Protein backbone atom coordinates (compact mmCIF):
# COMPACT_ATOMS: atom_id res chain seq x y z
CA UNK A 1 0.00 0.00 0.00
CA UNK A 2 1.54 3.33 -0.98
CA UNK A 3 1.16 6.46 1.08
CA UNK A 4 -1.52 7.99 -1.12
CA UNK A 5 -3.58 4.86 -0.53
CA UNK A 6 -3.20 4.84 3.24
CA UNK A 7 -3.66 8.60 3.54
CA UNK A 8 -6.82 8.47 1.44
CA UNK A 9 -8.29 5.39 3.12
CA UNK A 10 -7.25 6.37 6.62
CA UNK A 11 -8.44 9.97 6.47
CA UNK A 12 -10.71 10.71 3.54
CA UNK A 13 -12.31 7.28 3.88
CA UNK A 14 -13.16 8.12 7.45
CA UNK A 15 -14.57 11.50 6.43
CA UNK A 16 -11.63 13.33 8.00
CA UNK A 17 -9.71 14.73 5.05
CA UNK A 18 -10.72 15.31 1.43
CA UNK A 19 -7.63 14.92 -0.71
CA UNK A 20 -9.46 16.13 -3.81
CA UNK A 21 -9.70 19.68 -2.48
CA UNK A 22 -6.15 19.65 -1.18
CA UNK A 23 -5.16 20.02 2.50
CA UNK A 24 -4.18 23.47 3.60
CA UNK A 25 -1.62 22.83 6.37
CA UNK A 26 2.10 22.48 5.62
CA UNK A 27 2.25 19.13 7.42
CA UNK A 28 -0.64 17.72 5.40
CA UNK A 29 0.82 19.11 2.15
CA UNK A 30 4.06 17.37 3.00
CA UNK A 31 2.15 14.15 3.57
CA UNK A 32 0.60 14.37 0.10
CA UNK A 33 3.98 15.07 -1.51
CA UNK A 34 5.41 12.03 0.24
CA UNK A 35 2.38 9.99 -0.83
CA UNK A 36 3.26 10.68 -4.43
CA UNK A 37 6.65 9.16 -3.74
CA UNK A 38 5.05 5.87 -2.68
CA UNK A 39 5.80 6.08 1.04
CA UNK A 40 4.19 3.41 3.19
CA UNK A 41 1.74 3.86 6.04
CA UNK A 42 3.37 4.72 9.40
CA UNK A 43 4.01 1.55 11.39
CA UNK A 44 4.16 1.36 15.20
CA UNK A 45 7.78 0.73 16.10
CA UNK A 46 7.73 1.28 19.85
CA UNK A 47 5.41 2.01 22.77
CA UNK A 48 7.00 3.84 25.71
CA UNK A 49 5.50 4.22 29.18
CA UNK A 50 6.51 7.35 31.09
CA UNK A 51 5.80 7.56 34.83
CA UNK A 52 6.12 11.09 36.18
CA UNK A 53 4.75 13.31 38.98
CA UNK A 54 5.52 16.99 38.32
CA UNK A 55 2.71 18.06 40.67
CA UNK A 56 3.30 15.24 43.17
CA UNK A 57 0.50 13.15 41.60
CA UNK A 58 1.46 9.88 39.92
CA UNK A 59 0.80 10.05 36.18
CA UNK A 60 1.11 7.43 33.42
CA UNK A 61 1.75 8.73 29.90
CA UNK A 62 2.07 6.62 26.74
CA UNK A 63 4.23 7.55 23.78
CA UNK A 64 3.63 5.64 20.54
CA UNK A 65 6.51 5.94 18.04
CA UNK A 66 6.31 5.13 14.35
CA UNK A 67 8.41 4.34 11.31
CA UNK A 68 7.99 7.96 10.17
CA UNK A 69 10.92 9.95 11.64
CA UNK A 70 9.67 12.34 14.30
CA UNK A 71 6.07 11.12 14.13
CA UNK A 72 4.74 10.04 17.51
CA UNK A 73 1.62 10.41 19.62
CA UNK A 74 0.92 10.90 23.32
CA UNK A 75 -1.86 9.47 25.46
CA UNK A 76 -2.93 9.37 29.12
CA UNK A 77 -3.12 6.02 30.93
CA UNK A 78 -3.23 7.37 34.47
CA UNK A 79 -4.53 5.03 37.17
CA UNK A 80 -2.81 6.93 39.94
CA UNK A 81 -3.41 4.34 42.68
CA UNK A 82 -1.90 1.52 40.55
CA UNK A 83 0.50 3.16 38.07
CA UNK A 84 3.02 0.34 37.94
CA UNK A 85 0.31 -2.21 37.19
CA UNK A 86 -0.68 -0.16 34.13
CA UNK A 87 2.98 0.20 33.12
CA UNK A 88 3.41 -3.58 33.31
CA UNK A 89 0.30 -4.14 31.19
CA UNK A 90 1.68 -1.74 28.58
CA UNK A 91 5.33 -2.80 28.54
CA UNK A 92 4.93 -6.54 28.92
CA UNK A 93 1.70 -7.29 27.07
CA UNK A 94 0.29 -4.49 24.91
CA UNK A 95 3.55 -3.20 23.43
CA UNK A 96 4.54 -6.54 21.77
CA UNK A 97 0.98 -6.86 20.46
CA UNK A 98 1.10 -3.44 18.79
CA UNK A 99 4.56 -3.26 17.26
CA UNK A 100 4.35 -3.70 13.51
CA UNK A 101 0.72 -2.57 13.19
CA UNK A 102 -0.36 0.36 11.00
CA UNK A 103 -0.69 3.34 13.33
CA UNK A 104 -3.72 4.90 11.64
CA UNK A 105 -5.95 1.85 11.97
CA UNK A 106 -7.30 3.22 15.22
CA UNK A 107 -10.62 1.37 15.36
CA UNK A 108 -9.07 -1.99 14.47
CA UNK A 109 -6.29 -1.52 17.03
CA UNK A 110 -8.84 -0.61 19.69
CA UNK A 111 -11.04 -3.63 18.99
CA UNK A 112 -8.21 -6.13 18.72
CA UNK A 113 -6.40 -4.79 21.81
CA UNK A 114 -9.63 -4.88 23.82
CA UNK A 115 -10.04 -8.62 23.31
CA UNK A 116 -6.34 -9.50 23.23
CA UNK A 117 -6.26 -10.60 26.88
CA UNK A 118 -9.70 -12.28 26.79
CA UNK A 119 -10.48 -11.01 30.32
CA UNK A 120 -11.40 -7.36 29.84
CA UNK A 121 -13.18 -4.26 31.18
CA UNK A 122 -10.87 -3.72 34.15
CA UNK A 123 -9.23 -0.41 35.09
CA UNK A 124 -5.65 -1.59 34.52
CA UNK A 125 -6.16 -2.95 31.01
CA UNK A 126 -8.58 -0.16 30.06
CA UNK A 127 -6.08 2.51 31.09
CA UNK A 128 -3.33 0.81 29.10
CA UNK A 129 -5.58 0.65 26.04
CA UNK A 130 -6.71 4.26 26.54
CA UNK A 131 -3.16 5.57 26.60
CA UNK A 132 -2.46 3.94 23.26
CA UNK A 133 -5.80 5.06 21.80
CA UNK A 134 -5.28 8.74 22.68
CA UNK A 135 -1.75 8.55 21.28
CA UNK A 136 -3.08 7.18 17.97
CA UNK A 137 -5.62 10.02 17.69
CA UNK A 138 -2.78 12.45 18.42
CA UNK A 139 -0.81 10.76 15.62
CA UNK A 140 -3.74 10.98 13.22
CA UNK A 141 -4.11 14.70 13.86
CA UNK A 142 -0.41 15.24 13.17
CA UNK A 143 -0.61 13.32 9.89
CA UNK A 144 -3.70 15.29 8.86
CA UNK A 145 -2.24 18.59 10.06
CA UNK A 146 -5.38 19.19 12.14
CA UNK A 147 -6.34 19.43 15.82
CA UNK A 148 -8.18 16.33 17.01
CA UNK A 149 -11.39 18.32 17.51
CA UNK A 150 -11.41 18.96 13.76
CA UNK A 151 -11.15 15.23 13.10
CA UNK A 152 -14.18 14.74 15.37
CA UNK A 153 -16.33 17.04 13.24
CA UNK A 154 -15.04 20.50 14.04
CA UNK A 155 -15.71 22.85 16.96
CA UNK A 156 -19.29 23.17 18.19
CA UNK A 157 -18.27 26.00 20.54
CA UNK A 158 -15.50 28.56 20.94
CA UNK A 159 -14.14 27.22 24.24
CA UNK A 160 -14.94 24.80 27.05
CA UNK A 161 -16.96 25.99 30.07
CA UNK A 162 -15.44 24.58 33.26
CA UNK A 163 -16.03 24.30 36.98
CA UNK A 164 -13.55 24.67 39.83
CA UNK A 165 -13.46 23.32 43.39
CA UNK A 166 -14.25 25.55 46.39
CA UNK A 167 -13.80 24.04 49.82
CA UNK A 168 -13.35 25.09 53.43
CA UNK A 169 -13.71 24.23 57.07
CA UNK A 170 -16.69 26.54 57.47
CA UNK A 171 -19.50 28.01 55.39
CA UNK A 172 -17.67 31.32 55.30
CA UNK A 173 -14.48 29.75 53.99
CA UNK A 174 -16.41 28.00 51.22
CA UNK A 175 -18.18 31.24 50.38
CA UNK A 176 -14.87 33.14 50.22
CA UNK A 177 -13.34 30.47 47.97
CA UNK A 178 -16.40 30.54 45.70
CA UNK A 179 -16.28 34.34 45.45
CA UNK A 180 -12.64 34.14 44.41
CA UNK A 181 -13.53 31.88 41.48
CA UNK A 182 -16.45 34.09 40.51
CA UNK A 183 -14.14 37.11 40.43
CA UNK A 184 -11.93 35.21 37.98
CA UNK A 185 -14.80 34.67 35.56
CA UNK A 186 -15.94 31.19 36.51
CA UNK A 187 -19.66 30.51 36.44
CA UNK A 188 -19.72 26.96 37.88
CA UNK A 189 -18.22 26.02 41.26
CA UNK A 190 -18.22 22.71 43.13
CA UNK A 191 -18.66 23.35 46.86
CA UNK A 192 -17.52 21.02 49.66
CA UNK A 193 -17.38 21.75 53.40
CA UNK A 194 -15.62 19.86 56.18
CA UNK A 195 -17.68 18.04 58.76
CA UNK A 196 -16.06 18.83 62.13
CA UNK A 197 -14.03 15.90 63.43
CA UNK A 198 -14.57 13.73 60.37
CA UNK A 199 -12.64 12.89 57.19
CA UNK A 200 -14.77 14.72 54.63
CA UNK A 201 -14.22 14.01 50.94
CA UNK A 202 -13.14 17.02 48.91
CA UNK A 203 -12.89 19.42 51.85
CA UNK A 204 -9.67 18.54 53.65
CA UNK A 205 -9.34 16.90 57.02
CA UNK A 206 -10.65 18.13 60.33
CA UNK A 207 -9.61 17.13 63.82
CA UNK A 208 -6.68 14.99 65.00
CA UNK A 209 -4.97 12.04 63.36
CA UNK A 210 -7.54 9.50 64.54
CA UNK A 211 -10.47 11.71 63.55
CA UNK A 212 -8.97 12.27 60.11
CA UNK A 213 -9.55 8.60 59.26
CA UNK A 214 -13.09 8.49 60.69
CA UNK A 215 -16.34 9.09 58.85
CA UNK A 216 -20.03 9.16 59.76
CA UNK A 217 -22.68 9.93 57.12
CA UNK A 218 -25.39 11.43 59.33
CA UNK A 219 -23.68 14.72 60.23
CA UNK A 220 -22.63 15.20 56.60
CA UNK A 221 -26.13 14.66 55.19
CA UNK A 222 -27.51 17.23 57.64
CA UNK A 223 -24.74 19.78 57.03
CA UNK A 224 -24.59 20.03 53.22
CA UNK A 225 -28.14 21.43 52.69
CA UNK A 226 -27.31 24.14 55.21
CA UNK A 227 -24.18 25.00 53.20
CA UNK A 228 -26.26 25.38 50.04
CA UNK A 229 -28.81 27.50 51.87
CA UNK A 230 -26.02 29.80 53.10
CA UNK A 231 -24.44 30.11 49.66
CA UNK A 232 -27.73 30.88 47.91
CA UNK A 233 -28.50 33.61 50.43
CA UNK A 234 -25.04 35.16 50.12
CA UNK A 235 -24.32 34.62 46.40
CA UNK A 236 -27.74 34.61 44.78
CA UNK A 237 -29.00 32.47 41.93
CA UNK A 238 -26.57 33.30 39.12
CA UNK A 239 -23.73 31.04 40.24
CA UNK A 240 -24.10 27.36 39.35
CA UNK A 241 -23.33 25.24 42.41
CA UNK A 242 -22.21 21.60 42.20
CA UNK A 243 -21.53 19.00 44.88
CA UNK A 244 -19.85 15.58 45.01
CA UNK A 245 -21.24 12.97 47.41
CA UNK A 246 -18.53 10.54 46.23
CA UNK A 247 -20.57 7.41 47.12
CA UNK A 248 -19.78 8.06 50.80
CA UNK A 249 -23.23 7.49 52.33
CA UNK A 250 -25.84 4.69 52.38
CA UNK A 251 -28.20 4.94 49.38
CA UNK A 252 -31.26 5.84 51.44
CA UNK A 253 -29.42 8.77 53.06
CA UNK A 254 -28.09 9.85 49.66
CA UNK A 255 -31.66 9.99 48.37
CA UNK A 256 -32.66 12.22 51.26
CA UNK A 257 -29.69 14.50 50.67
CA UNK A 258 -30.41 14.91 46.94
CA UNK A 259 -34.07 15.67 47.69
CA UNK A 260 -33.13 18.21 50.37
CA UNK A 261 -30.79 19.97 47.93
CA UNK A 262 -33.39 20.32 45.18
CA UNK A 263 -34.77 23.62 46.54
CA UNK A 264 -31.31 25.20 46.15
CA UNK A 265 -31.11 24.36 42.43
CA UNK A 266 -27.73 22.60 42.15
CA UNK A 267 -26.27 22.33 38.67
CA UNK A 268 -25.70 18.69 39.53
CA UNK A 269 -25.05 16.35 42.43
CA UNK A 270 -22.33 13.85 41.64
CA UNK A 271 -22.06 10.17 42.58
CA UNK A 272 -24.91 9.89 45.08
CA UNK A 273 -24.57 6.10 44.76
CA UNK A 274 -21.68 3.76 44.13
CA UNK A 275 -21.44 1.65 40.94
CA UNK A 276 -22.56 -1.31 43.04
CA UNK A 277 -25.86 0.44 43.86
CA UNK A 278 -27.07 1.49 40.41
CA UNK A 279 -30.57 0.15 41.02
CA UNK A 280 -31.28 3.09 43.32
CA UNK A 281 -31.14 5.60 40.45
CA UNK A 282 -34.62 4.57 39.32
CA UNK A 283 -36.03 5.31 42.79
CA UNK A 284 -34.16 8.62 42.96
CA UNK A 285 -35.47 9.82 39.59
CA UNK A 286 -39.04 9.27 40.74
CA UNK A 287 -38.55 11.47 43.80
CA UNK A 288 -36.54 14.51 42.70
CA UNK A 289 -35.66 16.68 39.71
CA UNK A 290 -32.15 17.44 41.00
CA UNK A 291 -29.72 16.85 38.10
CA UNK A 292 -27.48 13.83 38.69
CA UNK A 293 -23.93 13.18 37.45
CA UNK A 294 -22.38 9.73 37.56
CA UNK A 295 -19.63 7.61 36.13
CA UNK A 296 -16.00 8.26 37.11
CA UNK A 297 -15.58 4.66 38.34
CA UNK A 298 -17.20 3.06 35.29
CA UNK A 299 -15.16 0.59 33.20
CA UNK A 300 -17.85 -1.29 31.33
CA UNK A 301 -20.45 -0.14 28.81
CA UNK A 302 -23.06 -2.20 30.68
CA UNK A 303 -22.60 0.06 33.71
CA UNK A 304 -23.57 3.32 32.02
CA UNK A 305 -25.77 2.29 29.08
CA UNK A 306 -28.90 1.38 31.13
CA UNK A 307 -28.65 4.64 33.10
CA UNK A 308 -28.49 6.64 29.87
CA UNK A 309 -31.12 4.63 28.00
CA UNK A 310 -33.61 5.00 30.85
CA UNK A 311 -32.68 8.68 31.37
CA UNK A 312 -31.82 8.14 35.02
CA UNK A 313 -28.81 10.48 35.00
CA UNK A 314 -28.21 13.88 33.44
CA UNK A 315 -24.41 14.03 33.11
CA UNK A 316 -21.95 11.26 32.25
CA UNK A 317 -18.80 11.68 34.36
CA UNK A 318 -16.41 9.01 33.11
CA UNK A 319 -12.64 9.06 33.50
CA UNK A 320 -11.55 8.97 29.86
CA UNK A 321 -8.64 6.60 30.37
CA UNK A 322 -10.81 4.29 32.49
CA UNK A 323 -13.27 3.57 29.67
CA UNK A 324 -11.02 3.16 26.65
CA UNK A 325 -9.90 6.60 25.51
CA UNK A 326 -11.18 8.86 22.76
CA UNK A 327 -12.52 6.03 20.60
CA UNK A 328 -14.94 4.86 23.28
CA UNK A 329 -15.72 8.35 24.63
CA UNK A 330 -16.88 9.71 21.27
CA UNK A 331 -19.22 6.72 20.87
CA UNK A 332 -20.49 7.21 24.40
CA UNK A 333 -21.16 10.90 23.78
CA UNK A 334 -23.07 10.08 20.60
CA UNK A 335 -25.33 7.62 22.43
CA UNK A 336 -25.87 10.07 25.31
CA UNK A 337 -26.89 12.84 22.91
CA UNK A 338 -30.06 10.98 21.91
CA UNK A 339 -31.14 10.61 25.55
CA UNK A 340 -30.45 14.23 26.61
CA UNK A 341 -27.49 13.21 28.78
CA UNK A 342 -24.63 15.71 28.69
CA UNK A 343 -20.90 15.13 29.08
CA UNK A 344 -18.90 16.15 32.15
CA UNK A 345 -15.66 14.18 31.80
CA UNK A 346 -13.63 13.51 34.95
CA UNK A 347 -10.84 16.10 35.22
CA UNK A 348 -9.03 16.16 38.60
CA UNK A 349 -5.29 16.26 39.28
CA UNK A 350 -4.88 12.56 38.62
CA UNK A 351 -5.65 13.09 34.96
CA UNK A 352 -2.42 14.01 33.16
CA UNK A 353 -2.26 17.20 31.09
CA UNK A 354 -2.42 14.91 28.04
CA UNK A 355 -5.69 13.50 29.37
CA UNK A 356 -7.01 17.00 30.01
CA UNK A 357 -6.17 17.91 26.43
CA UNK A 358 -8.13 14.89 25.20
CA UNK A 359 -11.09 15.97 27.36
CA UNK A 360 -10.99 19.46 25.87
CA UNK A 361 -10.89 18.25 22.25
CA UNK A 362 -13.94 16.07 22.86
CA UNK A 363 -15.68 18.92 24.70
CA UNK A 364 -15.17 21.23 21.76
CA UNK A 365 -16.62 18.79 19.25
CA UNK A 366 -19.56 16.98 20.86
CA UNK A 367 -23.02 18.52 20.58
CA UNK A 368 -24.14 17.42 24.04
CA UNK A 369 -21.29 18.95 26.03
CA UNK A 370 -22.34 19.90 29.55
CA UNK A 371 -19.43 21.06 31.69
CA UNK A 372 -15.77 20.18 32.24
CA UNK A 373 -14.01 19.69 35.57
CA UNK A 374 -10.82 21.73 35.45
CA UNK A 375 -7.65 22.47 37.32
CA UNK A 376 -4.95 25.09 36.95
CA UNK A 377 -1.69 23.41 35.99
CA UNK A 378 1.36 24.03 38.12
CA UNK A 379 4.44 25.49 36.45
CA UNK A 380 6.23 22.14 36.64
CA UNK A 381 3.34 20.51 34.76
CA UNK A 382 3.43 23.17 32.07
CA UNK A 383 7.18 22.68 31.72
CA UNK A 384 6.95 18.90 31.43
CA UNK A 385 3.90 19.08 29.14
CA UNK A 386 4.26 22.08 26.78
CA UNK A 387 0.92 22.97 25.23
CA UNK A 388 -1.36 22.37 28.24
CA UNK A 389 -4.93 23.64 27.75
CA UNK A 390 -5.20 27.26 28.91
CA UNK A 391 -7.63 28.46 31.60
CA UNK A 392 -9.03 31.93 30.94
CA UNK A 393 -12.32 33.67 31.75
CA UNK A 394 -13.81 30.47 33.14
CA UNK A 395 -13.04 28.41 30.02
CA UNK A 396 -10.48 25.91 28.85
CA UNK A 397 -8.98 26.98 25.52
CA UNK A 398 -7.26 24.53 23.19
CA UNK A 399 -4.43 25.56 20.91
CA UNK A 400 -4.65 24.94 17.17
CA UNK A 401 -1.62 22.68 16.87
CA UNK A 402 -2.08 19.33 15.07
CA UNK A 403 -3.19 16.37 17.17
CA UNK A 404 -3.88 16.99 20.85
CA UNK A 405 -1.60 20.04 20.73
CA UNK A 406 0.50 18.91 23.68
CA UNK A 407 4.04 17.54 23.96
CA UNK A 408 6.23 15.87 26.58
CA UNK A 409 9.73 16.76 27.73
CA UNK A 410 10.95 13.28 28.68
CA UNK A 411 14.21 14.47 30.22
CA UNK A 412 12.37 16.89 32.48
CA UNK A 413 9.67 14.32 33.28
CA UNK A 414 12.40 12.00 34.57
CA UNK A 415 13.30 14.63 37.17
CA UNK A 416 9.87 14.09 38.78
CA UNK A 417 9.79 10.34 39.52
CA UNK A 418 6.67 8.85 41.03
CA UNK A 419 6.70 7.92 44.72
CA UNK A 420 5.35 4.54 45.78
CA UNK A 421 3.58 3.74 49.04
CA UNK A 422 3.58 5.08 51.65
CA UNK A 423 1.84 7.39 51.79
CA UNK A 424 -1.49 6.78 50.17
CA UNK A 425 -4.31 9.28 50.46
CA UNK A 426 -6.37 8.53 53.56
CA UNK A 427 -9.47 8.36 51.38
CA UNK A 428 -8.39 5.13 49.72
CA UNK A 429 -8.99 2.08 51.89
CA UNK A 430 -8.35 3.64 55.29
CA UNK A 431 -11.46 5.64 56.22
CA UNK A 432 -13.75 3.82 58.68
CA UNK A 433 -16.92 4.35 60.67
CA UNK A 434 -16.51 4.87 64.39
CA UNK A 435 -17.30 1.17 64.93
CA UNK A 436 -14.45 0.15 62.59
CA UNK A 437 -16.46 -0.56 59.42
CA UNK A 438 -14.60 0.35 56.23
CA UNK A 439 -16.12 3.14 54.12
CA UNK A 440 -16.14 3.50 50.32
CA UNK A 441 -13.92 6.34 49.10
Which residues belong to the active site? Answer: 201, 246
Helices (runs of H) and strands (runs of E) counted in the chain: 17, 13
Distance of alpha carbon 262 from alpha carbon 210, whole angstroms: 34
- The burial of 68, by beta-carbon neighbours within 10 Å (0-12 exposed, 13-18 middle, 19 or more buried), is given as buried
Helix, strand, coil: what percent of the chain each, to 5? 40, 15, 45
DSSP class of residue 40?
P
For residue 112, give every residue at least 6 positions away whose Cβ sits within 8 Å of its Cβ, in sequence order, or none: 97
Query: Are 140 and 403 in contact, with CB atoms under 8 Å apart?
Result: yes
Angle of CA points 277, 370, 343, to nearest 5°: 50
Distance of alpha carbon 259 from alpha carbon 238, whole angstroms: 21
The distance in angstroms from the start CA to the end CA of the chain is: 51
Distance of alpha carbon 179 from alpha carbon 288, whole angstroms: 28
* Number of Cβ within a 10 Å radius of residue 200: 26
Distance of alpha carbon 388 from alpha carbon 393, whole angstroms: 16
Kindly list the distances between the CA atom of residue 170 and the CA atoms of 163, 167, 258, 263, 269, in Å, as whole numbers in the listed order. 21, 9, 21, 21, 20
Amino acid sequence: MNRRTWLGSGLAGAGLLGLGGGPSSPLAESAVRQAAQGRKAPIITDVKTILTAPAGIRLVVVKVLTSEPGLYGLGCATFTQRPRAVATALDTYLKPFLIGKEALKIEDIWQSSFVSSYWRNGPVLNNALSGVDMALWDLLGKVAGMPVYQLLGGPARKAVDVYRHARGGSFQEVEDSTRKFLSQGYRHVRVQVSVPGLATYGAGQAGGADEAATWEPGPYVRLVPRLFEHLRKQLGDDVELLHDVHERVPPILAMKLVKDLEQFRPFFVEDPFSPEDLGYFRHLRQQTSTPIAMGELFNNTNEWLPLVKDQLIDFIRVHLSQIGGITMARKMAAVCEFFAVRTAWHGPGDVSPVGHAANVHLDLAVANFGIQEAREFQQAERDVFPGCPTLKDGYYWANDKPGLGIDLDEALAAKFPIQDEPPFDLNWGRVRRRDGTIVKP
